[in-house]
């Protein structure tokens, strides 16, 4: 029962039966022969079949799919409970996603709306690989970005995986015989856009004349804390300690689902202190949001206010998220180690921080211009033999 190979790799006539079996099983993980599998369901004959895989993981996946398909055929579940994509996806969202963060819920609900419009009326069991590939092609023709399409495909893939686990379908259009047949698009989210000092001056001026008095405070917070938009809008006073100068980003509000602490500098301290009172002049409670509108209500969207200020400041190709990029880039330019930048941004690995560590052209020019300067040697005639230090060491430019 299970996976095996029919080759004799690893065995030797000099070994006893037990030793030969152990040697063969160890060799199967390395040899270039394909795997076979066998299994038996109650009341059925044994199923024996060869796979086209040499690696055990892919063969195991095919075995599990074969057992699942055989079980569905035996119980008649696939034909007994037909369900449309819309019906099962709604069931999935109501039951399975309830334990996820609000950000995940919003992402899945948005993907569900778009997928439902194209494939919602189709029976889940009848959706094929060609249908999914066609959906991907149509979204590309509509001019959607690869990241957007990938989020929708990831949602659809998750729905089918859950349906397989519950025996609601006998296949997934994303895999065939253990091989991935629908691949996500390559994403290129690298951006090197960040504010110059002159652009920041213009943006601040535009925010000051905005009809939304809270906009400037939100922008300054993004520039001096590196927080994401959702993290700023959901920040509550229970997570802000002005005395100890620290902000706590809870795991439930973080994209990475990891808690992190952000120190508060002087400029950010001034901004947050200005948000401590509500419109009536009373101090906000610990559960109150830090940033609210004039009526002390949650800020539901930044889009209109932000785009008005951005356009007023004549910032070309600049997104709100680029304020976070500016925060990280300025830290890197000032010599802050990437490890510290990574922790402030809440990245799971330092590799993710590389994209935020681009030094400005002026900094790069200054680094290279150091090669034009003469190197001063130690003063060997001095009694103290002290080195003559006339320049600072070159720091790494990331």
Catalytic positions are 228, 255, 321, 324, 347, 356
Give the H/E segment covering residue 107: helix 102-119
Q: What are the beta bridge partners of residue 39?
A: 47
Q: How far apart, in whole angstroms, are the C-alpha atoms of residue 67 and residue 239?
A: 50
Task: Quickly list DSSP for 33-96.
Answer: SPPEEEE--TTSPPEEEE-S-SSHHHHHHHHHHHHHHHHHHHHTHHHHS--BHHHHHHHHHHHT
Residue 359 has φ and ψ, to the nearest 5°, of -75, 155
Q: Is residue 108 within 8 Å of 151, Cβ to Cβ?
A: no
DSSP 356: G
DSSP 281: S
Q: Is residue 256 within 8 Å of 348, Cβ to Cβ?
A: yes
Q: How far apart, in whole angstroms, are the C-alpha atoms of residue 11 and residue 23?
A: 6
Going by C-alpha positions, the residue among 369, 367, 387 that lies closest to residue 379 is 387
Residues 6+ apart with CB under 8 A from 112: 89, 90, 93, 155
- How many other CB atoms are there within 10 angstroms of residue 390's CB atom? 9
Q: How far apart, in whole angstroms, are the C-alpha atoms of residue 141 and residue 135?
A: 10
Q: Is residue 38 within 8 Å of 47, Cβ to Cβ?
A: yes
Residue 66 half-sphere exposure toward CB, CA atoms < 13 A: 22
As a residue count, the chain comes to 398
Q: Is residue 27 within 8 Å of 10, Cβ to Cβ?
A: yes
């Amino acid at each position: 029962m299970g996976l095996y190979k029919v080759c004799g790799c690893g065995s030797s006539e000099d070994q006893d039966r037990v030793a030969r079996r152990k040697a063969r099983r160890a060799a199967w993980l390395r040899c270039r022969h394909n795997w076979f599998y066998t299994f038996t369901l109650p009341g059925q004959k044994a199923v024996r079949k060869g796979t086209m895989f040499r690696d055990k993981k892919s063969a195991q996946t095919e075995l599990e799919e074969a057992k699942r398909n055989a079980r569905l055929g035996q119980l008649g579940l696939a034909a007994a409970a037909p369900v449309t994509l819309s019906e099962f996806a709604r069931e999935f969202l109501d039951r399975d996603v309830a334990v996820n963060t609000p950000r995940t819920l919003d992402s899945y609900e948005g993907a569900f709306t778009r997928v439902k419009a194209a494939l919602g009326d189709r029976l889940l069991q009848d959706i094929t690989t060609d249908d999914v590939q066609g959906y991907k092609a149509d979204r590309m023709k509509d001019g959607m970005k690869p990241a957007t399409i990938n989020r929708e495909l990831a949602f659809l893939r998750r729905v089918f995986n859950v349906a397989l686990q519950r025996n609601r379908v006998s296949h997934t259009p994303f895999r065939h015989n253990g091989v991935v047949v629908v691949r996500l698009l390559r994403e290129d989210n690298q951006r090197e856009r960040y504010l110059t000092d002159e652009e920041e001056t213009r943006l601040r001026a535009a925010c000051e004349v905005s009809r939304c008095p809270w906009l400037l405070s939100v922008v300054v917070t993004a520039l001096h804390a590196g927080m994401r938009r959702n993290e700023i809008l959901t920040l509550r006073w229970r997570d802000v300690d002005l005395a100890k100068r620290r902000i706590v980003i809870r795991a439930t509000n973080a994209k990475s689902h990891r808690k992190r602490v952000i120190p508060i500098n002087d400029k950010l301290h001034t901004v947050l202190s200005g948000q401590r009172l509500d419109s009536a002049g009373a101090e906000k409670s610990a559960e109150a949001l830090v940033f609210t509108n004039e009526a002390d209500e949650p800020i539901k969207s930044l889009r209109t206010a932000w785009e008005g200020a951005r356009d007023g400041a004549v910032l070309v190709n600049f997104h709100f998220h680029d304020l976070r990029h500016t925060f990280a880039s300025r830290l890197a330019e000032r010599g802050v180690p990437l490890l510290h930048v990574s922790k402030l941004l809440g990245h799971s690995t330092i590799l993710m921080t590389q994209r935020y560590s681009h030094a400005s052209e002026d900094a790069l020019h200054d680094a290279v211009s150091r090669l034009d300067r003469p190197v001063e040697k130690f003063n060997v005639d001095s009694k103290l033999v002290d080195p003559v230090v006339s320049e600072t060491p070159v720091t790494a430019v990331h």
